[in-house]
Structure 1
Amino acid sequence: MIPLYIQILLALSLDFFIGDPRWLPHPVKGIGRLALFLEGPLRRLLPLRIAGVIAVLLTTTISAGSVWLCCWLMTAVHPLLGDLVSILFLTTCFAMQDLRQHALAVYNALCAGDLTQAKSKVAMLVGRDTNDLDAAEISRATVESVAENTVDGVTAPLLFAFIGGAPGAILYKAINTLDSTYGYKNERYLHFGWAAARLDDLANFLPARISALLVPLAAKITLQGNTNAWDIFIRDRNNHPSPNGGQIEAAFAGALGVRLGGEISYGGKRSFRPYMGDLRNEMTPEKIKTTLHLMVATSLILLAGGILVQLIAM
């Protein structure tokens, strides 16, 4: 049998170098369809908050249980086949290559001076309005998205994978997908999506903070110099609407020497987020590439730590 840490290493490597082939069915899409399928009947049968709780329980149980059953059945046929299926499922839980491709598409458009294309590309990464953004704001939006998605797309599923293998990683992706599907503070989902949003906050609590704590080390390795990642993390980590998103964004802001947060617009409604970081450096397109280097370095440090813990426990 292939040890779990080798499976995770292979899965993360496959994601980094190949990504998700578009022609393969993706578990996350299936989880999203399941969540939407359950929503209608549960809304009709139960009070909204209870219906949301049941939807979350059913979606997470079916998702993780199906992967566990599939791996178990394949292992019964042959242990190596079970390991290969596990690696395949694990690969789908990581989004490092996808994040890199989307962020680099924005970077390339900005370097070419094509603001229209850059706005179009950054709109695929963020939910905010992008039509009125200038080059600096497009870069900021990209940096913020990559920083926050370092947790959602790489380090959190990595931690869940070390704890629970492929079913554990899929469980996290199910929780994350439920939040993306139900976790909106609007009239439709304020009550129905309450459980999904709270569970996502809980699932990301430790991964966000562990990841942020690794950023100063990743910055020293990647940037080869002293940064303010630790100081800014301590000072500004709670300057964000999300209890978890600000942890990693503040650490990235300090490492990059930039200021994140500020004015933002959703659906034509402008608001202001408290700043994270100081204006030591200008927000240029090059900060996007540096952010990607930080994402990779932070993820690899966590991977190395997880492998070490597993080796010691063996």
Structure 2
Amino acid sequence: VDVWCEDLLDQLPETPVPPVATEIVAVRDLDLVDDDAWPQALAMLARPPLRDALTQPVRVLLPDGTTQSVRPYTAWWLRDHPVLDGRRPAGLRSAGGDPILAGLYDAVDATGFDDAQVLRALGVRTSVAALLDEPGGAAELLGRLADEDRPVTPVQLHALYTALAELDPDQVTLPDELRAVVDGEVTVVDAADAVIADAPDVLPLTEGLPLLPVAPSRAAELAELLQVRRLGETIEAGVTSEGEEHRVPDSVRVLLGPATPDTYIEHPELRAGGVELDWRRTQDGVVHASTL
């Protein structure tokens, strides 16, 4: 219990008067459980009345009258002991959990024990949303993304950065390294070199650039969160070819929605930034397209 208290104090702000846990529900002597009996023991802990000791946070009263919720002792102890399939549950991923986390976390077989709330209390990662909802979850995810030995696909990376973009920047400590896509290959790069891939029209001009893939609607938020540049602000790609203005067909406007421009510039061969492009939307909002 002393070590648990020390861990909690490290998470709480320093105060002249010690914080007070108003109520603690815990299960003692877990170290006496036989190694082979942990499946039964976890099943018992997952049911009332013991369940609260595992899943309910402890509320800590601070000297200024505010409260903070912290991990309960029972969950804290179980996370760091080989209680799930003979392994420490913290940092594992449920084999049937979110595939977006595959590769970043070693999978554990939790067959017959699919209580997501209990698995989460044990530190088993079940979904990206649950991970990011946990204190320190974003830092943990970014740390694993910076580990070159943990494989991640571009599709996974897109989903992970899109999820991260929804966080408050105050929740995230800026990392030194990020996972990015460079010329189609996923690799770890210095955060200062990374660029948000928010301008798909100039992707042919990004050779050698470390790109962070993200949903277009979240590009600005991710740039703010990670304090990195955006591709659309980085690449100089003025249109150098000549084209002819046309009205956008009504059928296209219906398909693309109200943000569709009224006109576009058609080029027999669209060139920008010294290369041939299929299309280009310049900073003034004009859309240029190459003749198919």
TM-score, length-normalised on structure 2? 0.25
Which structure has more strand as a fraction of its residues? Answer: 2
Which structure has more helix as a fraction of its residues? Answer: 1
